[in-house]
Amino acid sequence: YTKIFAFGDHINLKREGTALTQEDFTSDGTNDLTGALRTVREEVEKCKEKYVRVFIIADGAHDHGPPHPESEICKMRAPEGKTVSVFVMGLGPAFPVQNSIDIRSNLHNGNANIPFLFWAQCDEDIVGQLSAIGEVLESSLIKMKLSIEGFHVPGLEKRSELHLGEWLYFEEAPEELPQLCLSLDDGEAVTLNVKSEPATLGHLLKDLFRQWNSILIQQHRRKSIVPHSTFDLMESIYTYYMRELKSSLPTSNDIKSRMGRKHVRAYEMEFRTLMNQSKKVISIEGQYHDELELAESILRSTVTNRKYDTRNLKLRGHNQDEYEEDMKEFKKLYEQIKPKIMTLDAPSPDDCCRVTITSTLQDLQDPNIHLMFNENKYEFLKCFTMTGIPVYVPVRDASQINPWTLVIKHILVTPFTILSQLVIEESANVNKGNLGEDKDVILQQDNEKTRFNAIVPIVPASAAEVLKPLVKSNVYAMLATFCILKNPHIIDFNAHLAALSCVWMKTVREYPKSNRPEFASERLRNIEATADIYMDRPSVKHYIEALISNPQQALMTESIDEFDGKTLHCDSLIKPTFFLYLMEREVLSTTNNYNFKAYAV
């Protein structure tokens, strides 16, 4: 059975049951959090059940006067012979995280993998956090016993009891262990058929080390023994497996090799973050500036549910859910045209990034492309090869809002005529402190013209027709937006076409047709082939039709008249000039009366 209490001026037993209502979250007067915690403690102590689960949902406010909540928290202990599982869900951005950690540390003796905190910072998060509690709830109900003892954390006492999902550490090698038997509560023991498998860094970081950290933090909060030698053991285990992983990596630059190196960097960062934050929580008091910083450390350094990782709380624009839907559609499109992609000629060296010797088409033809599709949004953005024209574009608020206002300072030339986003990302990994204010990198320190911070993606003319469905997808638009505007949170469907237009304009102005070098001619051919993909987009077709039939309106910053229910926007004269150039064979005869001139390119 479950007792539901609500607290305000008084602590009220609402009913027995498991369903919460909106009225349960409203109260008048003051908030007596101390009384609520006292009720929790007393109910746990007098409860006759062997397994007890405690759910505390509160915003953490206490304005009922003394005594204060800390006086009750320090009295909390799991009664002898009872397994108490504690679930604390904080409401609102001001929830006191310290209280959550102390309540969980003092009262909880159940599954070590239950998070310290479930945090709904706004109303929209409440259902998601309750669902997250539900996902880990079942693991708290099952308690097992092994025939031999092991360590929940090396350095503490040995135990034979464990919950579903917990890990035990044995000092002996697997082949030296006696036969393992498992019993559920007081039931009959079952002999286990144990198979030894090598651990992976992913398992160590995501599961084992986080369990150890969770218990160490709990020990620290209880003012019990904290075996600091555990950190040394974690360091030596990590070092061994990292050395094994690095020695197994190939030196090529295909997708599988790049993903392997990416995982190495991710593991290195995750381990250092885990160790630094755990030591900070355990060893140093009062080092956190506010509750949000402490929460971020706790959420990232102990067992957590990814749904409430603090980084994900900040996502706006093109969020993870939208990305997953778009990626499903992208994969469907890819599978439909994959046979045609595989029949395309392999990219020539001229189509590849001059540094990584890879290209977008090469990635799409790679048999391990599915590894990339399975990555999360940010890893996919960082690792997928987007080859194109490297440019230096100062980061400005105006161009973030309207990409037609992009200002290109310079375009890289031979030998760096084609580069990829990977070059920027790799440089950022190596030279974290040396990136320019525009997140730019420089390829030759003595040549300022090799500085760039953006890639304008291009599609070779030979592959444009086949790749057209992918280029017009949301995922490709996201990739292009990231390459050009440096913003991973949004999709701007104008960014790619606007950037192509700006590069085209700068190229035809800097290299007149009369003495144009071959690399500039090749650049223009690539721009035209890529831009042609977008010419049947409805918004582009409407604009071109208006440009032909009613140029006075089409050339206004915003037209007075409406076309198909919408006004037209001429964000920059580059836009109509580029569009007319692309359509010149169809429109020149129609536009003579309006004094239009096509560039002689």
SS (H, E, C) 198-262: CCCHHHHHHHHHHHHHHHHHHHHHCCCCCCCHHHHHHHHHHHHHHHHHHHHCCCCCCHHHHHHHH
Q: What is the mean pLDDT of residues 298-310?
A: 43
Residue 89 in domain: yes
Q: Please say if the pLDDT value at position 411 is more than 90.
A: yes
- Rounded CA Rg of the chain: 31
Residue 236 in domain: no
How far apart CA 456 and CA 479 sit, in angstroms, is 10
Q: Please say if the pLDDT value at position 311 is more than 50.
A: no
Q: What is the mean pLDDT of residues 175-193?
A: 81
Average pLDDT, rounded, for the chain: 81
Residue 245 in domain: no
The predicted pLDDT at position 31 comes to 81
The first and second tokens of residue 442, run together, are: 């420089």
The predicted pLDDT at position 283 comes to 60
Residue 347 neighbours by CB distance under 10 Å: 23
How far apart CA 441 and CA 453 sit, in angstroms, is 6
Burial (CB < 10 A; 0-12, 13-18, 19+), residue 233, is: middle
Residues 6+ apart with CB under 8 A from 195: none
Q: What is the mean pLDDT of residues 185-195?
A: 77
The predicted pLDDT at position 292 comes to 53
How far apart CA 223 and CA 73 sit, in angstroms, is 13
Residue 264 in domain: no
Q: How confident is the model at residue 528 (pLDDT cuts 50, 70, 90)?
A: very high
Q: Please say if the pLDDT value at position 368 is more than 50.
A: yes
The predicted pLDDT at position 465 comes to 93
Burial (CB < 10 A; 0-12, 13-18, 19+), residue 431, is: exposed
The predicted pLDDT at position 410 comes to 94
The predicted pLDDT at position 434 comes to 56
Q: What is the mean pLDDT of residues 97-109?
A: 83
Q: Are 305 and 296 in contact (CB under 8 A)?
A: no
Q: How confident is the model at residue 593 (pLDDT cuts 50, 70, 90)?
A: very low
The first and second tokens of residue 537, run together, are: 């987009």
Reported as type and span, the H/E element at residue 191 is strand 190-191
Q: What is the mean pLDDT of residues 299-305?
A: 46
The predicted pLDDT at position 296 comes to 54
Q: How confident is the model at residue 322 (pLDDT cuts 50, 70, 90)?
A: confident
The predicted pLDDT at position 304 comes to 43
Give the DSSP letter of residue 27.
Answer: -
Q: What is the mean pLDDT of residues 515-520?
A: 90
Residue 449 in domain: yes
Residue 424 in domain: yes
Burial (CB < 10 A; 0-12, 13-18, 19+), residue 101, is: buried
Which of 534, 567, 587 marks a domain boundary?
534
The first and second tokens of residue 488, run together, are: 């991973």
The predicted pLDDT at position 139 comes to 65
Q: What is the mean pLDDT of residues 553-561?
A: 77
How far apart CA 536 and CA 516 sit, in angstroms, is 30
Give the DSSP letter of residue 23.
Answer: G
Q: Please say if the pLDDT value at position 309 is more than 80.
A: no
How far apart CA 275 and CA 267 sit, in angstroms, is 12
Range of the domain at 20: 3-142
Residue 226 in domain: no
Q: What Cα–Cα distance (Å) separates residue 574 from each residue in 274, 341, 409, 553? A: 50, 33, 16, 16
The predicted pLDDT at position 26 comes to 66
Give the DSSP letter of residue 561.
Answer: E
Sign (positive or negative) of CA dihedral 180, 186, 190, 196? negative
Q: How confident is the model at residue 178 (pLDDT cuts 50, 70, 90)?
A: confident
Residue 81 in domain: yes
Ranking 163-172, 294-303, 487-496 by mean pLDDT, the lowest is 294-303
The predicted pLDDT at position 369 comes to 92
Residue 249 neighbours by CB distance under 10 Å: 13
The first and second tokens of residue 151, run together, are: 């360590």
Q: Please say if the pLDDT value at position 428 is more than 80.
A: no
> pLDDT by residue (tens digit) across 110-138?
888 887 778 787 777 788 888 888 878 87
Of the candidates 321, 327, 305, the one whose C-alpha atom is nearest the C-alpha of residue 380 is 327
Sign (positive or negative) of CA dihedral 462, 355, 244, 373? negative
Q: Are 391 and 454 in contact (CB under 8 A)?
A: yes
Reported as type and span, the H/E element at residue 322 is helix 320-343
Q: Are 499 and 456 in contact (CB under 8 A)?
A: yes
Which of 142, 160, 182 marks a domain boundary?
142
| Domains contained in the chain, number | 2
Buried b (16+ CB within 10 A) or exposed e, 522-559: ebbebbbbbbebbeeeeebeebbebbbeebebbbeeeb
Which of 93, 123, 142 marks a domain boundary?
142
Ranking 254-263, 358-367, 412-421 by mean pLDDT, the lowest is 254-263
Q: Are 251 and 186 in contact (CB under 8 A)?
A: no
Q: Please say if the pLDDT value at position 464 is more than 90.
A: yes
Kindly report the CATH number assigned to the domain that includes residue 55: 3.40.50.410
Sign (positive or negative) of CA dihedral 467, 469, 471, 476? negative
The predicted pLDDT at position 458 comes to 96
The predicted pLDDT at position 344 comes to 94
Q: What Cα–Cα distance (Å) separates residue 51 from each residue in 109, 140, 190, 532? A: 11, 9, 23, 67
**What is the percentage of the chain residues whose pLDDT exceeds 90?**
20
> pLDDT by residue (tens digit) across 238-288?
999 899 888 888 777 788 888 888 788 878 878 887 787 677 666 644 455
How far apart CA 587 and CA 546 sit, in angstroms, is 12
The predicted pLDDT at position 585 comes to 44
Q: Are 556 and 575 in contact (CB under 8 A)?
A: no
Residues paired with residue 6 on neighbouring β-strands, in sequence order: 12
The predicted pLDDT at position 279 comes to 72
The predicted pLDDT at position 443 comes to 85
